[in-house]
Amino acid sequence: MIGWNAFVLLAAVNLAPSPPATMAAPPTPEQVMAVPPELRQQLQERVIDATNAPEQRLLRIVDLVFKPDGLGLQYDTTATLTVAETWEQHRANCLSFTLLFVALAREAGLEARIQEVGQVVTWYQEQGVIYNAGHVNVGLRVAGRHGTLDLDQNVLYDRRGPRVISDQRALAHYYNNRGAELMATHDAEAMEYLRTALRMDPAFAPAWNNLGVLERRRGDARAATLAFDNALRAHPALLSALSNATSMYRQLGDTRRAAQLGERLQRARDRDPFYQFMQGVQAERRGDYAQATAAYRHAIRLYGNAHQFHFGLARAYFLQGENQRAMREMARARELGGSDPVRAVYQAKLDSLHRLNARQGAH
């Protein structure tokens, strides 16, 4: 059913009139991944000619990408770019970085794959906590050892972690991201990118969902419902698609279908630790610490090994004056911290709680 529904809509896409000449067509897959001549020359001189050892080549690629005398790459969450654009602009988000690094590693003879994480929570200083359904990074196999290289160091993966995907699906991520970005200002161009994403991977649920949003905004209810239905066939628990489809069917007056989807949406939310965690974050921000506590505890029941969840619960307890419980959760966060620097931060906070508790006890 997924393939057939995808085929029906994509056939309509292929038969649609060509975009106006003034609208830039999406780059081809080859253009997305192409390494520009200047970068290829630097790769040859600084990496390939310099050493035959795979480990050294990997380290030299890292230097080429990040050091100021190379690309000097800067992290930019909005920069969904081709490999050549990343080279020219010296900025990338996780997807652009992954495409760039995989392209360079392969040119240098290394075994590099693109990996996908179904859900992540990311911490940005300027934007706070961001929940994303979908994330990519680099998977490497060097000298018989497997490793992961991720541009974003402040990210919590879902319980399944990174999984290798095809280049086609990675390109679907690229076209979908660009389409979503363009939806704010250029509907027609956004449509071309989303359709291209689905040509790369007809079962890519996020692109179907975004296409549904765009079709609904354009007033085509039939195309919107078809897109949302395809998204849910590909990913039955995709929260954004469930929410959009529920709203769409309610608008169409199909209350029975809307109610069914609404129940599915609630069940999916109840089973999603990241959704529960974000509910806790939002409750904490508005000062509803009892609700924050309930949501954080729900998240921990679903995903007990995430130190960030225990830290959130510790904050909620502390803000309610429950210092003993706060210390217990902070200690658990410290135990689960993934690195020495993270554990050191939690230890410092735990020490502060102990001192505060001692002062309060003295009074």
Task: Retrieve residue 109's tokens.
Answer: 């003879």
According to the model, what pLDDT value does residue 134 have? 77
Q: Classify the phi-psi angles of 219: left when phi > 0, otherwise alpha if psi is within -120 to 50, otherwise beta.
A: left
Average pLDDT, the chain: 88
According to the model, what pLDDT value does residue 125 have? 44
Amino acid letter, 105: A
Please name the residue ranges forming H helices in the chain.
2-15, 29-33, 37-43, 54-66, 83-89, 94-107, 167-182, 187-200, 205-217, 221-234, 239-251, 255-270, 273-285, 289-302, 307-319, 323-336, 340-362
Q: C-alpha 28: how far from its chain's center? A: 23
pLDDT, tens only, 4-16: 233 233 333 333 4
According to the model, what pLDDT value does residue 132 have? 64
pLDDT, tens only, 262-312: 999 999 999 999 999 999 999 999 999 999 999 999 999 999 999 999 999
pLDDT confidence bin for 128, thresholds 50/70/90: low
Check: CB of residue 333 under 8 Å from CB of residue 315.
no
What fold is seen in the domain 24-169? C8orf32 fold (3.10.620)
- Distance in angstroms (rounded) separating the CA atoms of residues 279 and 295: 6
Give which of 134, 220, 241, 213 is closest to 177, Cα–Cα: 134
According to the model, what pLDDT value does residue 363 have? 57
What contacts 10, CB < 8 A, 6 or more positions away? 195, 198, 199, 202
Domain boundaries defined on the chain = 24-169, 273-362
pLDDT tops 60 at residue 44: yes
> 273-362: which CATH number, 1.25.40.10, 3.40.50.880, 3.40.50.720, 1.10.3720.10?
1.25.40.10
Q: C-alpha 269: how far from its chain's center? A: 18
According to the model, what pLDDT value does residue 361 have? 60
Task: Check residue 48 and report its DSSP letter.
Answer: I
Angle CA 269–336–127, to nearest 5: 55
> Residues in the chain, how many?
363
N- to C-terminal Cα separation, the chain: 69
According to the model, what pLDDT value does residue 173 have? 96
Kindly tell me the burial class for residue 208, based on how many C-beta atoms sit within 10 Å of its own C-beta (0-12, 13-18, 19 or more).
buried
According to the model, what pLDDT value does residue 137 have? 95
pLDDT, tens only, 191-214: 999 999 999 999 999 999 999 999
pLDDT confidence bin for 17, thresholds 50/70/90: very low
pLDDT, tens only, 61-112: 999 999 999 999 999 988 999 999 999 999 999 999 999 999 999 999 999 9
Q: What are phi and psi of 74, to 5 degrees?
A: -115, 145
Decide whether 24-169 matches 273-362 in CATH topology.
Answer: no
According to the model, what pLDDT value does residue 343 have? 84
